[in-house]
Amino acid sequence: MSREPIKILHTADFHLGARMGSIVPPSVEDSRREDFYRNMFYIADYAVKNKVDIVIISGDIFNRPDPAGKDFVAFSEFVGKIVSSGIYVVVIAGNHDKPKTTGARNPLEGLQKANLPYFWYFKHTPDEPLVLSIRGRKIGIAAIPYIDPKIVKLEIEISYENLIKRLVGRFVEKLRGINVDYKILMAHLLLAEAKFAEIFPIYSTEPRISRRALQEEFFDYIALGHIHRPQKIGEKIYYSGSIEKITFDEAPEQKSFYIIELGDGGVSVERVPLRCRPMTVQQLELLNASRSDFIRSIHALSGIPMGALLKLIIRSDDETLRSIVDKYWPEAQEILFKEKRIVGYCLKKIKIGAAASRPISPEIRGVRQKVLEYIDRLQAPSKVKERAKEIAKNIMDEVGLP
Ligand SMILES: [Mn+2]
């Protein structure tokens, strides 16, 4: 007789308290917070309703290591809803959860110290796998929270990938010794094979781990966090992605979480979509435009869902930006809120025209290379230089340098 499968819900990257920064009106930050909470509680309700056995959260619960009180209260309520239904919650720390100063503590440790039944939070990689017994079966969980590459460089004579390999290898050996029915690996890291929006600078300086380091063949499911775009890599490796869109780079992404069924006959994985605040990026090009050209082009913007967050990029010449866009912006804004029914916007103005369309002189031609060489020669850590080069490239793209 086949037994009922063990059900696992895999999610990650809640980033509670994430802010958009330059959004108008600033009060949007409050409704954003609610967007994240809504999806978080949807996940809790889903787990309870569908009789999930374990909820796995692969890091980055809060956007900061010292979260706002309300974010901690909301997360505690989320955990409470799940564990009080007899469902396990296993959390690992992500980079955002790790305090940057020694001695500082993330409140998540408070939940861990409270010794809640059914709740685990791993700030560091434990020596032993966590073994849960559910309906006569044993599930072994190898938990590898985020490890700061800077610390690895300073303190350990080993490459980042080899360190991960070593930790995975240690878990594999221990799990072989204790005979579990199912083996899960959870980790917060950047896989070389992962896909994400190019512009995400946060990942650019981080070492990328090859999927071979994770010993995919040994585990039944690998639950990753860190990359916000949900994706499957190889046969058993999954990034659940974030629970909400966090930056405009994520605008086209469909957020989701995974339900994994570990049955006698094998493993099945289902992707469950999450409803998110619509985000849209729109571009306008205005050259020598009049007030009515400008207003008409705002009216003509299409494909903006109701209640959306809008990033509007206006490419225009200096004169139009100053005497039309800036001057009549309040009118345009009115249309965006009243007619287009957006909840907030981010405006980016890019100067084009006269200067950029002039033929590039030979002196300018070498500028890109010279700027990058200049940064290379600076006396600064290579990570800082890499970041500086990236910013410089963005600026040079924006002003149209070849
Ligand atoms: Mn992360």
Residue pLDDT, tens place only, 162-192: 999 999 999 999 999 998 999 999 999 999 9
What spacing in Å lies between the alpha carbon of 164 and ligand 1's midpoint? Answer: 16
Q: Beta 344-351 vs 309-316: how paired, if at all?
A: parallel
210, 327: one domain: no
Q: Given this model, what pLDDT does residue 200 score? A: 54
**Count of helices and strands (H, E) across the chain:** 12, 15
What spacing in Å lies between the alpha carbon of 347 and ligand 1's midpoint? Answer: 27
- Where is average pLDDT lowest: 112-116, 152-156, 354-358? 354-358
327, 234: one domain: no
pLDDT higher at 366 or 135: 135
What spacing in Å lies between the alpha carbon of 370 and ligand 1's midpoint? Answer: 34
How far apart, in Å, are the Cα atoms of 138 and each of 86, 182, 183, 237? 16, 7, 9, 21
Number of domains the chain contains: 2
Question: Phi, psi at residue 270, to the nearest 5°?
Answer: -125, 140
Other residues' Cβ atoms within 10 Å of the Cβ of residue 393: 14
Look at residue 1 and tell me if it is in a domain: no
106, 225: one domain: yes
CB 156 within 8 A of CB 198: no
295, 268: one domain: no
What spacing in Å lies between the alpha carbon of 89 and ligand 1's midpoint? Answer: 19
pLDDT at 76 over 80: yes
Q: Given this model, what pLDDT does residue 5 score? A: 95
Domain membership of residue 374 as a residue range: 280-398
Q: Given this model, what pLDDT does residue 213 score? A: 96
Ion ligand 1, residues whose Cβ is below 5 A away: 60, 94-95, 226
What spacing in Å lies between the alpha carbon of 242 and ligand 1's midpoint? Answer: 10
Q: How far is CA 142 from the centre of its chain?
A: 22
Q: Given this model, what pLDDT does residue 162 score? A: 92
pLDDT at 321 over 90: yes
Q: Given this model, what pLDDT does residue 202 score? A: 62
Q: Given this model, what pLDDT does residue 98 score? A: 82
Q: Using DSSP, state whether 59 is helix, strand or coil.
A: coil
C-alpha dihedral sign at 292, 297, 298, 300: positive
264, 284: one domain: no
56, 123: one domain: yes
Mean pLDDT across the stretch 253-260? 97
Q: Given this model, what pLDDT does residue 159 score? A: 85
Tokens at 150, concatenated:
């800077």
User: What's the full length of the chain, in residues?
Assistant: 402
Q: Return the DSSP state at 208.
A: P
Q: How many CA atoms lie within 13 A of 177 on its CB side?
A: 8
Mean pLDDT across the stretch 320-327? 96
CB 350 within 8 A of CB 396: no
The domain that holds 119 is classified in CATH as 3.60.21.10
Assign 3-state DSSP to the chain and report helix, strand, coil percentages, each to 5.
35, 25, 40
**Last residue in a domain, options 221, 238, 273:** 273
What spacing in Å lies between the alpha carbon of 17 and ligand 1's midpoint? Answer: 14
For residue 348, list its beta bridge partners.
313
Residue pLDDT, tens place only, 344-395: 999 999 998 655 445 556 566 677 777 887 787 777 777 778 778 877 776 7
What spacing in Å lies between the alpha carbon of 310 and ligand 1's midpoint? Answer: 25
Q: Using DSSP, state whether 40 is helix, strand or coil.
A: helix
Q: Given this model, what pLDDT does residue 101 score? A: 74
Q: Given this model, what pLDDT does residue 153 score? A: 66
91, 223: one domain: yes
Strand order in the sheet with 54-57: 119-122, 88-92, 54-57, 6-11, 256-263, 266-273
What spacing in Å lies between the alpha carbon of 371 and ligand 1's midpoint? Answer: 31
Q: Given this model, what pLDDT does residue 199 score? A: 54
What spacing in Å lies between the alpha carbon of 73 and ligand 1's midpoint? Answer: 21
What spacing in Å lies between the alpha carbon of 95 and ligand 1's midpoint? Answer: 5
21, 143: one domain: yes
- Where is average pLDDT lowest: 274-288, 301-315, 340-354? 340-354
Q: Given this model, what pLDDT does residue 391 score? A: 77
* Closest CA relative to residue 156, chosen from 287, 347, 164, 337: 164
Residue pLDDT, tens place only, 209-252: 999 999 999 999 999 999 999 999 999 999 999 999 999 999 99
Cα 25 to Cα 247: distance, rounded to the nearest angstrom: 16
The whole model's pTM is what? 0.86
In which residue are the tokens 């950029």 written? 356
**Last residue in a domain, options 255, 273, 291:** 273
- Where is average pLDDT lowest: 99-103, 117-121, 141-145, 189-193? 99-103
47, 139: one domain: yes
